[in-house]
Chains A and B, each alone.
Chain A
Amino acid sequence: MASGARNDGRFEPWKDPSAEPYIRVERVTKKFGDFVAVNDVSLKIYKKELFCLLGGSGCGKTTLLRMLAGFEEPTAGKIFIDGVDMAGIPPYDRPVNMMFQSYALFPHMTVEQNVAFGLHQDKVPKAEIRQRVSEMLDMVKLGQFGKRKPHQLSGGQRQRVALARALVKRPKLLLLDEPLGALDKKLREHTQFELVNLQEQLGVTFVVVTHDQEEAMTLSTRIGVMNAGEIVQVGTPSEIYEYPNSKFVAEFIGSVNMFEGRLIEDEPGHVRIHCPELGGNVYVDHGVSAPPSAVVFAAVRPEKIVLSRDKPASDDNVGHGIVKEIAYMGDMSTYLVRLDSGKMARVTQPNTWRHADDRITWEESVYLSWHPSSPVVVIE
């Protein structure tokens, strides 16, 4: 994964307290009438990051992006880009370009004219415009389509024109509103990597809005998960996935089994949660801080659960149930197991062997178990 490679290269400016953030969003609120679209959001985004704002529809992520672009003014709070307060600065005076969800290509202009549009506004000399446009079109592999009109292009080609048009001005910050939303699955996967390569090549800071968690995981250096106008968690893809800080984030990113329970042991080194739904206790080998005997949730990812016919040795982190559904997905299979309490648990197992005669099958009695490091304890 591209982001993984980057993390190995130690691109983690957010861990460096002396690093100056490129974008600072300070306690920004945006109201439309009585409706609070963005509620008291603070955010720091660093140079050359590929930051994803992730959330369901209506969570305020697009409004936040539009405030960065200058199409909306915050009701309260401040936005700084490169240290400059953006209050009152119109979109055409910001060092920012945006790629629109609908692409917003000018239908009466050719591809070349679309891409050259921004450069003409900046009064760049004609010869330079021609050169930069053709370079940009080559970069997005549209060299021979310059004379076409947008309606003569396919969806993927239009997406690349929109990208070229936004990048040709060499902005320091590019805002992308659902950049891959209109593409089909295959093309989307392919374009994801192109986008990351382009971003690394040009060293531009990207802020991407998306509702697709898979897209966010693949693209970003960090993700800001949004819900109901608020940022609920900011972190790297693996932090968000492995250490969700709330039930919402755990359920929003990937799939998860939530076992409701009460803390019965709360030590710095471990916790034990009594889960009636599981029919036993969950033992977690890292401490959490929650009020004693509070209602908590032990979140366990489906791929971290092991299925077996025999009862595991441990008493904790074990459940028993009957296999109700099996979904074969090629690389792995998903089992829906009805626990003795009636709760349905989701388990995925890799299909390591091509011919496994001894596979667990429908209506079999099985035990679920997992390693004490696997569960994450979250509260509502």
Chain B
Amino acid sequence: MTTHAEGPTSQRLSAGVQLILRVLNHFPPYRWTHARLLKWGVTGRTLVIAVPYLWLMLFFLVPFIIVLKIAFSETQIAMPPYQPLIQWLGEKTVSLTINFGNFLFLLEDNLYWKAFLNSLKVAGISTFFCLLIGYPMAYAIARADSTKRNILLMMVILPFWTSFLLRVYAWIGILKNNGLINNFLLWTGVIDQPIVMLQTDFAIYIGIVYSYLPFMILPLYSNLEKMDLTLLEAAQDLGCGPFKAFMKITLPLSMSGILAGSMLVFIPAVGEFVIPTLLGGPEALMIGKVLWTEFFNNRDWPVASAVAIALLIFLVVPIVYFQRLQARETGVGVHR
């Protein structure tokens, strides 16, 4: 065998597993398969990694290729509502039709880039407010004593136990003209006309910030919780007041948490569809809504796919940038 070839992996295997391997090794079919797999460069380690790879291939890469294919095809009123890219014409000929028209259409019609820019704006502002609200919360949880900490964390996670859709609907009840807030303000006499909040951008921001706040808090919490508090004592000892120590030590050291939280909020917020549809007005122009309209109302699958591909490409850029930044930070965040 085999144990040599597998060296470090085998060392980490428990004694029980090693015993099973030793017994298995006496059966020729196992030995042959193992030897053949090794010859092809397949070890236990590659097999373990192969599972998530296969999963992503099947459920991300294949659908992506299908969408990409649709994006390059032409619309037709049929079922499915697009023309095939590759056609078998018989007589040893295959025709490949690539249609860039859908992407060009995105540039021509300013609806698309306006919707896209507006989505970026909404996502950006929402992320900023999530950070503004989430950072102090994450900080307070991380510094709370351990019994309180678990309760506070529980309270952050608790909303996930209710359906996302229900929670957004609940906001309609709170924000509408005869909703909770307006009724209260009318009753106290602060206002005599209800404030219009539902179907405004304000409602969209409320909805996104509320829904995505936990995604900001959790990575920030896990980052702040790991911080070595003697660093703050050292800063104070060297003449820093508490606020300055926060700015010079805590904030820079939590940068990777800030970035992770911001990405987790920003990326889904850009493509958000449910919140602007339910809370925003009909004129709220967001790329997720445009995508939905193209697919289901206009039944223009190729243009809708092109929108989806464009969105993906625009979002991949910040992710790659973020990962690069993280790679550079590696080792810095780890103290010891």
Contacts and interface: CB of A to CB of B under 8 A. Distances in A.
Please say whether chains A and B are actual partners in one complex. yes
Interface of A: 69, 71, 90-92, 96-98, 100, 102, 104-108, 117-118, 121-122, 149-151, 165-166, 169
18 contacts: A91-B236, A91-B237, A92-B238, A97-B237, A98-B233, A98-B234, A100-B230, A104-B230, A104-B233, A105-B335, A107-B231, A107-B332, A107-B333, A121-B238, A121-B244, A149-B331, A151-B334, A165-B238
A118 B239 contact: yes
* For the complex of A and B, 9 pairs with smallest distance between CB atoms: A121-B239, A118-B238, A104-B234, A104-B230, A91-B236, A107-B335, A98-B237, A92-B236, A92-B239
B228 interface: yes
A43 to B, nearest CB: 21
A69 to B, nearest CB: 6
B240 interface: yes
Contacts of A107: 231, 253, 332-335
Interface of B: 228, 230-231, 233-241, 244, 248-249, 252-253, 331-336
A71 B234 CA distance: 10
Contacts of A92: 236-241
Contacts, number: 68
Contact of B332 (A104, A108, A121): A108
A106 B249 contact: yes
A102 B233 CA distance: 12
Max chain B CB contacts within 10 Å: which of A104, A105, A121?
Answer: A104
A104 B231 contact: yes
Nearest to A71: B233
B331 A151 contact: yes
Contact of B238 (A71, A97, A151): A97
Given A100-B230, A106-B249, A107-B253, A90 B238 contact: no
Contacts of B241: 90, 92
Nearest to B245: A92
Chain B CB within 10 Å, residue with most, of A100, A108, A118, A166: A108
B225 to A, nearest CB: 16
B292 to A, nearest CB: 44
A324 to B, nearest CB: 40
B238 A102 contact: no
B249 A91 contact: no
Contacts of A104: 228, 230-231, 233-234
Nearest to B335: A107
A70 B41 CA distance: 61
Nearest to B239: A121
A69 B238 CA distance: 11
Nearest to A69: B237
Contacts of A98: 233-234, 237
Contacts of B239: 92, 118, 121-122, 169
B240 A121 contact: yes
A168 to B, nearest CB: 9
B334 A102 contact: no
A102 B332 contact: no
Contact of A149 (B230, B332, B336): B332
A145 to B, nearest CB: 16
Nearest to B249: A106
